[in-house]
Amino acid sequence: MRVEDGRPWERPVPHGEGEYGTFFEGCAQGKLLVQDCPSCGKRQFYPRALCISCGLTPDWLEASGKGTVHTFTVVRQMRLEPFAGERPYVVAVIDLDEGVRMLGTLTGIDPDDVVIGLPVEAYARIYEEGRAIPYWRPVDQSS
């Protein structure tokens, strides 16, 4: 996925301990990493030290970055900056093609045009050296 520099970063900062760090480092390298269990096949996100299904150690799987909007909201009341200045903005739960879900901000679309089922793709925004988080935008129809 495409990687942008989001600094200076004024939003909450993920601490990135343990498996979280692996995920955010992957994002900075353009890779959207989810977990896939070699023992039971369970796929999961957010990343953890164990498979939540069988308890063993999962592998990492590089996801395609593609998904659809499962549900969303348009935030219109928010006092905290920089979010306040970005209203109205869209936060969505995305169904990744790989079968897991992620929460993320959806950009590049008028909030009134967002619908459940909208095809979207991830891009990464760097928040500190070597680490980024995924954002989402509608799939580019021309690509």
Partner 1 sequence: MWHRGRLMAEPRRRAVIAGIGLSDYPIAPHLTATQHHVQAMQRALEDCGLPKEEIDGYCCAGSGSWGILDSAPFMAEYLGIDYRFLDGTFTGGSSYEHHLQHACAAIGAGLCDTVLITYGSDQLSKSGTAIDLGASARVEGALQVEAPYGLPLAGAYAMAARRHMHEYGTTSEQLAAIAVGVREFAAMNPYARYRNPISVEDVLSSRLVADPLHLLDCCVVTDGGGALVVTTEERARDLRHAGVHILATAGAQTHWIISQMPDYTDTAARGCATEMFRQTGLKRSDIDVLQLYDSFTITVLLLLEGLGFCDRGEGGPFVAEGHTAPGGSLPLNTDGGGLSSSHPGMRGIFLAIEAVRQLRGDAGVAQVPNAATALIAGSGGYLSGIATAILARPEVIG
70 half-sphere exposure, CB direction, 13 A CA radius: 13
CA distance 48 to 113: 35
Q: Decide: 76 and 118 in contact? Cβ < 8 Å.
A: no
Assess 99 for contact with partner 1 (CB under 8 A): no
DSSP bridge partners of 122 = 136
Query: Using the rule CB under 8 A, which residue among 1, 34, 63, 102 binds partner 1?
Result: 102
Residue 8 as a binder of partner 1 (CB under 8 A): the answer is no
CB of 109 to partner 1, least distance (A): 14
- Residue nearer to partner 1 on the CB measure, 102 or 142: 102
Q: With contacts defined by CB under 8 A, how many residues of the chain interact with partner 1?
A: 40
